[in-house]
Each structure stands twice: as structure tokens, then as C-alpha cells.
């Protein structure tokens, strides 16, 4: 492959039977072609062409060599075609539907990593409620869906899954912040910030409260995960989220994440899904692998 110029010279001369005709066909000087062939014959220690009066004819050694040359040129063309295909994977578009709450926390590092490798690819991200997200993926309006606690759906196929335990999230000055772990019963001694009934996280919390017979009256109830985070930073009270939800705030020293050890509190399930029909196209498939890698880094398991 790295000597493809010499290989093309040999092939052209063998086909044309003339250095002059081959040079004309290749649009190079005859002397350049002749020099390359003489150098090769000197290296091999045997003539490749028999110089007749009006033409060049392959010697027995030349016949062996030209068979190898032509096979190598075919392989060269195949590799070039594959490389052109790979160039195509550096352009295009991938559409992602994501749940609000987790999208702003988890997507930026994944998408940034993908864009570093393929800066020509356009990423389209739509923030949708769960029902609309599942419908968009199943209808193939988007390539991938990224959400927490998705219900089973015949039109979806799970590509990656990670379980995210919940914790008590408090300002770093809060009394609970210094604990290695805590319980829901300890948390409800303080003002509590809860998601409303339209947020899937609320069902997990309500199940745990019910199993442990804890009565809770929230100080604040909202359908915005972002607002829950901001209220916790402001010291309004205790909220309950997974570690990814507050990764940036923890890094800035604004919030503490205290693991909850309640046995009835199930972890959230973060999923990457695609349409059940057919396989992923090349670019969505590459982005899906980026998600798998990220899921593995946070202790996830794949399906």
C-alpha cells in the first residue's frame, strides 16, 4: 500500500508492454517509470521485463511478481474504500430524546467525548416527558432514547442499563452532610423537598415511605429536578436524587450526597434505548458505544 505508485507503474507497463505508453497513461515522465523499474530489478537481482525490440514482456520472475502486484492493488483499493466509509462516519446527524433532569447532568460529558472524536457530526437532543420519549423512539423519530425508570415497551430495545442508588442531597453545611449514610426516617426530621406525582422518582420514594410507615409532608413539591437541586443548594431542605443528578454541584462543593440505606428504596434505572425494529445505523451505533463506556465507568451493567 505504501509503495502503491511503484505497483501501479509495474501493472501499467505489463498491460501496455511499453514504458512510454504506460507513462502516458499514468501522466508521468517515461524516465520516472523506467527509473523505478530498474531500481526494483536491481533490488530483486533479476529482470522483471524482457526488453524486446518493440515491446517489453514479463519474465518468469515478472509473471510471479505481477500476480502479487495486482492482488496487492485490489487490497489497496478495498482498504481505501473502507477508509472512505470511515470518513463518512465523521459527518451526519444523530437524534437523541432525553428525559429532562438527568439530561443536563449526564449527557454533556458523553456528548463532548463523542464530538471530540467526530467533530463533523451534528447531535440533535430533544428533552421530552417519558411517554413522548418512548413514542418518539418507537416511531423512529429519534435514533436513541436516554431516560430513568422507563416502563416496558414493545417498541423499544435496551442497549445499556445502569442502576443508580438514591441518596439524601443536602447543602454542605447541613447536619446530615457529614454522615457516611443515612435513612429516610432521619431525613424527614428536616424540611423535605420532593418531586410531585408526575415525576417517576416520586413512585420510588412513596413505595419506600409506605413500606417503612413514614408519614412525610413535603416543604416543597415540584416537577422540576433542577429546582429541587437549586433549593437544596440554597439550604431549603433535604431532597432525594441519584449521584449523577448532582455531580457538578458536588464537585463545586455546594452539595453533599449521603447514601440511603433503606432496604425498600429501589435504585433508579438509567437506560439507553433504541427502536426495537432493525439495527442501529453506524453513527447512532457509535454513540451508543460511547454511552456503554460511560455506563461502565459508573458501575453499570449492559444488556
Question: Which residue is it, cell 436524587?
Answer: 241
| pLDDT number for residue 56 | 93
Do strands 144-148 and 192-195 pair parallel, antiparallel, or not at all (unpaired)? unpaired
Domains of the chain: 4-88 (1.10.10.10), 93-163+268-297 (3.40.190.10), 166-259 (3.40.190.10)
Sign of CA dihedral 110, 111, 113, 118: positive
Alpha carbon of residue 270 to chain centroid = 15
Pull the grid cell for residue 81. Answer: 474504500
- With beta carbons less than 8 A apart as the criterion, state whether 150 and 130 touch: yes
Please choose, from the candidates 111, 105, 107, 146, the residue with its C-alpha nearest in 3D space to the C-alpha of residue 250: 105
Question: Which residue is it, cell 433508579?
Answer: 268
| pLDDT number for residue 295 | 85
- Total-model pTM: 0.65
The tens-digit pLDDT sequence of the chain (303 residues) is 446 788 888 999 999 999 999 988 888 899 989 999 999 999 999 999 999 988 999 999 999 999 998 888 888 777 665 555 555 556 788 999 999 888 888 899 999 999 988 888 899 999 999 999 999 999 999 999 999 999 989 999 998 899 999 999 999 999 999 999 999 999 999 999 999 998 889 999 999 999 999 999 999 999 999 999 999 999 999 999 999 999 999 999 999 999 999 999 999 999 999 999 877 778 888 899 889 888 877 654 444
Please choose, from the candidates 239, 257, 240, the residue with its C-alpha nearest in 3D space to the C-alpha of residue 248: 257
- 187: burial class by Cβ within 10 Å (0-12, 13-18, 19+)? buried
Amino acid at each position: 500500500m505504501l509503495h502503491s505508485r511503484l505497483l501501479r507503474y509495474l501493472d501499467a507497463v505489463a498491460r501496455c508492454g511499453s514504458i512510454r505508453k504506460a507513462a502516458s497513461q499514468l501522466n508521468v515522465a517515461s524516465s520516472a517509470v523506467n527509473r523505478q523499474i530498474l531500481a526494483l530489478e536491481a533490488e530483486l537481482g533479476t529482470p522483471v521485463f524482457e526488453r524486446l525490440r518493440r515491446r517489453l514482456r514479463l519474465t518468469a520472475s515478472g509473471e510471479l511478481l505481477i500476480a502479487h502486484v495486482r492482488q496487492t492493488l485490489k487490497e489497496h483499493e478495498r482498504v481505501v474504500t473502507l477508509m472512505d466509509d470511515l470518513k463518512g462516519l465523521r459527518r451526519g446527524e444523530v437524534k437523541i430524546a432525553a428525559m429532562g433532569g438527568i439530561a443536563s447532568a449526564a449527557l454533556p460529558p458523553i456528548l463532548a467525548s463523542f464530538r471530540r472524536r467526530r467533530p463533523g457530526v451534528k447531535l440533535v437532543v430533544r428533552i421530552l416527558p417519558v411517554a413522548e420519549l418512548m413514542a418518539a423512539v418507537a416511531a423512529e423519530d429519534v435514533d436513541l432514547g436516554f431516560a430513568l425508570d422507563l416502563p416496558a415497551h414493545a417498541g423499544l430495545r435496551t442497549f445499556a442499563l445502569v442502576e443508580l442508588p438514591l441518596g439524601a442531597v443536602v447543602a454542605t453545611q447541613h447536619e446530615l452532610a457529614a454522615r457516611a449514610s443515612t435513612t429516610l426516617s432521619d431525613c424527614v426530621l428536616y424540611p423535605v423537598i420532593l418531586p410531585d406525582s408526575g415525576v417517576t422518582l416520586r413512585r420510588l420514594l412513596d413505595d419506600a415511605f409506605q413500606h417503612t410507615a413514614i408519614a412525610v409532608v413535603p416543604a416543597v413539591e415540584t416537577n422540576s429536578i433542577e429546582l429541587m437541586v437549586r433549593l437544596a443548594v440554597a439550604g431549603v431542605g433535604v431532597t432525594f436524587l441519584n449521584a449523577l443528578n448532582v455531580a457538578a454541584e458536588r464537585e463545586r462543593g455546594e452539595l453533599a450526597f449521603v447514601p440511603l440505606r433503606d432496604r425498600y428504596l429501589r435504585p433508579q434505572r438509567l437506560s439507553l434505548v433504541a427502536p426495537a425494529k432493525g439495527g442501529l445505523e453506524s453513527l447512532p451505533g457509535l454513540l451508543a458505544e460511547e454511552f456503554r463506556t460511560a455506563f461502565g465507568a459508573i458501575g453499570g451493567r449492559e444488556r
